[in-house]
């Protein structure tokens, strides 16, 4: 996301003071006064010069002055300019990279386990809340269903799930079926439900039966009834996993307890947070939503740093962290970027 003003809006002195102010506020969490700025610049600027520059920054909306202090704090606009223009990114530490590599290896090739592992690692390394959408291929999809006749009014159902998993189930039916009948049953069902997740299949079968029962012949009705017996009732799994939500409690200086409770409830509902993450699905590289930029009131005091993870050209999902607006962006952004690349490689190698 780009800043709404060009870089040349601020001269070099203003940019330097803004960078120092944001850095200091992120580290200390306290309003930054002119004396502190003068000391940290290391330059012999007069106090009046610094006060004037800070006043200009405030007039332009990059900083604000809390009621209880003469010091200044960055605004969302100030954070955005800092992130887009002034930040000096810090590469992840070697020990952090080792933790991620080991965690991905321990998770094996299971997509759900990888998502859980990565969310926990992101949380542990950043001390923020780690969030990872479950890889799309982790959803249980029905690829094919076939039926074979057995004796004594029984039918063998064969389900191919995802790419490799095969499940067999013997059904007790009300009459004997011939091989040709069951072939027509299989063809009819595969045309309608192949490629859908198992919980979607059950809904499709019910809808098909309600919609066309009057015009169906007996065999098609029997086909749907057989499919309903063989397709398990599978509730939709979580679309993302979160780790380290309690880290937000320690950083909740910008919000109140009710806001934090609402955010935790949003993690449980998933849809609102998922909508924000989906905005990063088609993006290239790291996306940053600072405070009100998310458009979600509960996140007014928080930021999301997210990136898509891909296998070759296929975007599998999004990962990132949620933390206070005064998070250490220079460290968090590279960690999210590298982690997305590592997870994409791990999923690719597991296929």
The three state secondary structure string of the chain is CCCCCCHHHCCHHHHHHHHHHHHHHHHHCCCECHHHHHHHHCCCCCHHHHHHHHHHHHHCCCEECCCCCCCEEECHHHHHHHHHHHCCCCCCCHHHHHHHHHHHHHHCCCHHHHHHHHHHHHHHHHCCEEEEECCHHHCCEEEEEEEEEECCCEEEEEEEECCCEEEEEEEECCCCCCHHHHHHHHHHHHHHHCCCEHHHHHHHHHHHHHHHHHHCCHHHHHHHHHHHHHCCCCCCCCCEEEECCCHHHHCHHHCCHHHHHHHHHHHHHCHHHHHHHHCCCCCCCCEEEEHHHHCCHHHCCEEEEEEEEEECCEEEEEEEEEEECCCCHHHHHHHHHHHHHHHHHHHHHHC
At the top level of CATH, the class of 7-86 is mainly alpha
16 to each of 43, 141, 259, how far by Cα in Å?
11, 54, 34
44 to each of 35, 79, 235, 323, how far by Cα in Å?
12, 26, 66, 36
Mean pLDDT computed over 47-60: 92
Work out the percent of the chain whose per-residue pLDDT is above 70. 88
90 or 239, which is more confident?
90
142-230 has CATH 3.30.390 classification: yes
Judge whether residue 253 has pLDDT over 60: no
Judge whether residue 234 has pLDDT over 70: no
Mean pLDDT computed over 56-78: 89
Structure-token pair, residue 19: 């960078």
44 or 15, which is more confident?
15
183 or 271, which is more confident?
183
With vertex at residue 103, the alpha carbon angle to CA 101 and CA 106, rounded to the nearest 5 degrees, is: 110
Structure-token pair, residue 87: 């930040």
94-138+237-350 — its CATH code?
A: 3.30.450.40
Which of 172, 143, 165 lies closest to 230 in space, CA to CA? 172
Mean pLDDT computed over 23-33: 92
CA dihedral 42, 48, 54, 56 (to 10 degrees): -130
Residues of the chain with CATH 1.10.10.10: 7-86
Residues of the chain with CATH 3.30.450.40: 94-138+237-350
Q: What is the pLDDT of residues 254-268, one digit of tens each?
A: 456 777 888 888 888
- The pairing of strands 302-311 and 314-324 is antiparallel
pLDDT of residue 1: 46
pLDDT of residue 110: 73
């Amino acid at each position: 996301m780009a800043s709404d003003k060009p870089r040349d809006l601020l001269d070099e002195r203003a940019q330097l003071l803004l960078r120092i102010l944001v850095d200091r506020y992120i580290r200390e969490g306290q309003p930054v006064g002119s004396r502190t700025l003068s000391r940290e610049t290391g330059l012999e600027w007069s106090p009046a010069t610094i006060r004037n520059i800070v006043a200009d920054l405030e007039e332009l909306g990059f900083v604000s002055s809390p009621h209880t202090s003469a010091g200044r704090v960055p605004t969302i606009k100030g954070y955005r300019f800092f992130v887009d223009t002034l930040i000096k990114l810090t590469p992840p530490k070697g020990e952090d990279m080792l933790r991620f590599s080991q965690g991905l290896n321990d998770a094996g090739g299971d997509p759900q386990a990888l998502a859980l592992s990565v969310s926990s690692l992101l949380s542990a390394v950043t001390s923020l809340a780690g969030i990872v959408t479950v890889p799309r291929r982790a959803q249980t999809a029905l690829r094919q269903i076939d039926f074979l006749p057995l004796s004594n009014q029984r039918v063998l159902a064969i389900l191919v799930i995802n790419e490799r998993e095969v499940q067999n189930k013997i059904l007790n039916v009300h009459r004997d079926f011939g091989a040709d009948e069951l072939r027509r049953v299989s063809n009819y069902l595969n045309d309608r439900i192949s490629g859908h997740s198992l919980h979607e299949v059950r809904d499709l079968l019910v809808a098909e039966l309600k919609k066309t029962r009057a015009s169906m012949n007996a065999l098609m009705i029997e086909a749907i009834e057989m499919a309903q017996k063989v397709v398990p009732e599978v509730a939709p799994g979580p679309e993302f996993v979160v780790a380290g939500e309690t880290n937000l409690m320690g950083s909740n200086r910008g919000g109140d307890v009710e806001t934090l409770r609402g955010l935790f409830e949003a993690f449980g509902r998933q849809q609102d947070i998922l909508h924000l993450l989906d905005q990063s699905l088609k993006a290239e590289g790291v996306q940053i939503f600072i405070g009100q930029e998310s458009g979600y009131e509960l996140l007014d005091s928080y930021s999301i740093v997210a990136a898509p993870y891909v296998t070759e050209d296929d975007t599998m999902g999004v990962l990132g962290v949620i933390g206070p607006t005064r998070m250490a962006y220079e460290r968090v952004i590279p960690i999210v970027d590298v982690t997305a690349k590592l997870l994409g490689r791990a999923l690719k190698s597991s296929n």
